A and B are shown apart, each in its own frame.
Chain A
Amino acid sequence: MESTLLGRVSCFSRPLSKVPRRWSSSISQRPGSDRVRFPGAINSKFTTEMTFTNPSNAPNIPTYRVMDSDGVLVDKSRKPMNVPNEEILSWYKNMLTVSVMDVVMFEAQRQGRLSFYMVSAGEEGISVGSAAALTPDDVVFAQYRETGVFQQRGFALKDFMSQLFANRHDNGRGRNMPVHYGCNYPRTHTISSTLATQIPQSSGAAYALKLQALQNPDTPPRIVACYFGEGAASEGDFHAGLNIAATRSCPIVFICRNNGYAISTPTLEQYRGDGIASRGLGYGIDTIRVDGNDIFAVYEAMRKARSIALQDGGKPVLIEAMSYRVSHHSTSDDSFAYRARVEVEDWKRRDNPIIRLRKWLENEGLWNEDLERDTRDQLRKAVLKEFGEAERKKKPAIREAFEGVYEEVTEEAEAQMKELKRIIETYPEEYDLRQFHEGINGL
């Protein structure tokens, strides 16, 4: 197989005779079979009973959980988690960091200090728990409510703040809206606002990893993790991405955050099947539904999914993580326009990935009220410190508006930059360049 990957096959052959050729995909019929081997569905038996398969008769896919909402392991007989307590504590702190940052930044947006923000309240467990099961060499494509993935993968507060304030240190060079984070290594692709476009892209990236592993067996095993919400799963790109991943046997784990809402649209208006998980089976993809408020369940499912994804050179897996979007969709949304405040308050009280893990940590004697208060204080101070510094930093040079469109700035763009410079110099009172690195010379 390797020789075919690295170049031409030496034994190049074409059928020379007139003998009827049978392709490897050809299907033959055995006499007396209880099924016709139609090429489109080779294992379907005949039946004389005319029954339409009704989705409501099929059992709903169960939701995997490890601990209950009191932080108690449900299955007493199960083996303990094979994760050191320090690591579990770091997950907890990562969830707290996201949560503390969310509160500060949401407020900052309300004060008009940044243009936009999206919190991930209620979904910190999904992003932190799943990212904890990845290696730094794994590649991530995300939607936008996966701040915890970036946090777990080592994106620092300074990186978050630089992006949110679009300052000189922003990886995105001030080009993207806030929360559109991106990182080269561990590779976590820059978020784009277009929903679901990352899904077929992640299949292609996973196929590339598979090919690279075949071509160079020394590369460490790598998968792609692709995140999206249940609303995005209605896009055509979801269908395209999962189907291609299945037919090309890609090492990829799709993680759907099913939080009940796509902006104002409840899931009842999004789909009528058994959530997103039921679709995985239709594509021939190994699928599991997990309790997204249970970080242990998410972590374990992701760990197992990762190993399944690497089987036989590549195999896609779908995880549907159930949660509830406690927050508004974004700072541009008032969710009480379409759902009852009491419903949200209920969820906040009833269940939450942070509180659940905190209870487990307290049950284990690893956490207490004092630690909680001190940690939150420290985190808040650290966020505010980076916030202040990032806010004061200059914006990137104005040339960044034109660079990076192509590998090299085109003649057309050079001319337009020159023209913009002329305009700014002719009408200096119309433009405030003080915020931008190098001012007019940055053009």
Chain B
Amino acid sequence: MATLRLPRLIPRPRRYSTAASPSSRLNLPIDYKSTPLLHHTPATLSDTIDLPDSSTPKSMNLYQAINSALRTALSTSNKVMLFGEDVAFGGVFRCSMDLQTEFGSERVFNTPLTEQGIVGFAIGAAAQGMKPVAEIQFADYVFPAFDQIVNEAAKFRYREGATGVDIGGMVVRMPCGAVGHGALYHSQSPEALFAHIPGVQVVMPRSPSQAKGLLLSSIFESKNPVVFMEPKVLYRAAVEHVPNEYYTIPLNTAEVLKPGNDLTVISYGQPLYLCSAAIRAAERALGASIELIDLRTIYPWDRQTVLDSVRKTGRAIVVHESMINYGVGAEVAATIQDGAFLNLEAPVKRVAGWSTHTGLIYEKFIIPDVARIYDAIKQTLDY
């Protein structure tokens, strides 16, 4: 039988996604093996996470860290249940690998393909005291569940009032963000939509160790429904040392990743790696000292850490991947001008996705890159 033979393409760049320009000096691929944002050795872990002495860190990527967090959660409490589309065989991103085998099909299971059903189901289970961790396969598909999140999950405790019933312990996990070729429906980051809703906590980790600590916090320490967004481009790319045991990272504090005196860059999730690269280039080229802050929890967020930083530096840039219009940057910038007006020496700049959709071949031009962040740093310092 004749088979269709395609000529093997020799230069390796993937033709289906836009590659960096061969002459790039700023927009280079992120080298996750050398970025200062990841714990390449166990030694640096204790700088950021309060670990027990018996800590036995293990090198993991983001999906493995999520898997480790879920395994820890399922063994810590039999109230924890894990469900969504295709989670039983391990999940389309492998986050629930082996968990059904280990914990049984009663606690780890597939649901029918219905996002509104999945979130509604989680709300009901949480209302009866369980700790449901629901998975939405892509953040792009959370919108059918928007009503359940906005009108039900977020308002549950408030409307129950003196009955004392709440749905703390409920977590909705969803992979989010651009991945190079996700186009319209495998690239979105709707965190700003959820950050507009009182009653839910919105969290986005940047790394494996952070993901585990924040996810365990969301399940066990938060008494509020949590929208937990996982940058899927990091699932396999970001590798670092992650403690094996149970630990948590608080949901109400930002983290100063790198101190500096001349400018504050505020971001969260994957763009932090771009910010880090842009800061390195800018510090080298412009001789400035730049502070980098990871919000970690997008709402309710840590205003104090951000304001303290900007009052010190006098300049600020907010960076995020999702669209600029009414994005998280708008709230952060407005808060800065309100809380640090007399310290500001330049307008607060927002570097974010353009106000369009993520057309397949245009992704690289739409979401922030190192060049755009570098340029914003330069403009803000020069102002």
A residues with a Cβ closer than 8 A to B are 1, 4-9, 12-14, 139, 141, 170-173, 175-176, 180, 182-184, 187, 189-190, 192, 194, 197, 199-209, 211-212, 214-215, 224, 236-237, 239-241, 243-244, 247-248, 400, 404-407, 410-412
Contacts and interface: CB of A to CB of B under 8 A. Distances in A.
A240 B144 CA distance: 11
B124 A239 contact: no
Nearest to A208: B128
The 6 closest A-B pairs by CB, nearest first: A200-B120, A4-B104, A204-B124, A240-B117, A204-B121, A201-B124
A237 B117 contact: yes
Contact of A189 (B107, B165, B168): B165
A205 B81 CA distance: 13
Given A201-B127, A204-B123, A207-B124, 9 more contacts: A200-B114, A200-B116, A201-B124, A204-B122, A208-B127, A211-B130, A411-B300, A412-B300, A412-B303
Interface string B308-331: 000000000000000000000000
A208 B129 contact: yes
Nearest to B152: A197
A358 B68 CA distance: 63
Nearest to A171: B162
30 contacts: A4-B106, A5-B106, A171-B160, A171-B161, A175-B158, A176-B161, A182-B165, A187-B165, A190-B159, A190-B165, A192-B155, A194-B147, A194-B151, A197-B120, A200-B124, A201-B120, A201-B123, A201-B124, A202-B124, A204-B128, A205-B125, A212-B130, A214-B106, A224-B124, A237-B148, A239-B114, A243-B112, A406-B223, A406-B224, A412-B300
Given A192-B152, A243-B112, A247-B112, A205 B127 contact: yes
Nearest to B112: A243
Nearest to A214: B106
A404 B161 contact: yes
Contacts of A187: 165
B235 to A, nearest CB: 22
A214 B126 CA distance: 17
B250 interface: no
A173 B162 contact: yes
Given A8-B103, A184-B164, A192-B151, A405 B157 contact: yes
B243 interface: no
Given A4-B104, A204-B125, A204-B132, A197 B148 contact: yes
Given A194-B151, A201-B152, A241-B117, A9 B163 contact: no
A207 B75 CA distance: 20
Contact of B161 (A182, A199, A236): A182
B78 A6 contact: yes
A200 B161 contact: no
B166 interface: yes
A308 to B, nearest CB: 20
Contacts of B105: 4
Contacts of A201: 120-121, 123-124, 127, 148, 152
A1 to B, nearest CB: 7
B81 A211 contact: yes
Contacts of A237: 116-117, 120, 147-148
B116 A171 contact: no
Given A5-B78, A201-B124, A211-B106, A190 B157 contact: no
A240 B101 CA distance: 26
Contact of A247 (B98, B111, B125, B224): B111
Contacts of B160: 171-172, 182, 189-190
Contact of A207 (B125, B155, B162): B125
B199 to A, nearest CB: 5
A405 B300 CA distance: 11
B163 A184 contact: yes
B354 interface: no
B159 A172 contact: yes
Contact of B148 (A200, A212, A400): A200
A182 B222 CA distance: 24
A190 B165 CA distance: 9
A182 B303 CA distance: 36
Interface in B350-370: none
B198 interface: yes
Contacts of A176: 159, 161
A1 B104 contact: yes
B107 A5 contact: yes
A111 to B, nearest CB: 27
Contacts of B148: 197, 200-201, 237
B114 A240 contact: yes
B341 interface: no
B102 interface: yes
Contacts of B198: 405-406
Contacts of A244: 111-112, 114, 117, 121
Contacts of A203: 117, 120-121, 124
Contacts of B78: 5-7, 215
B129 to A, nearest CB: 7
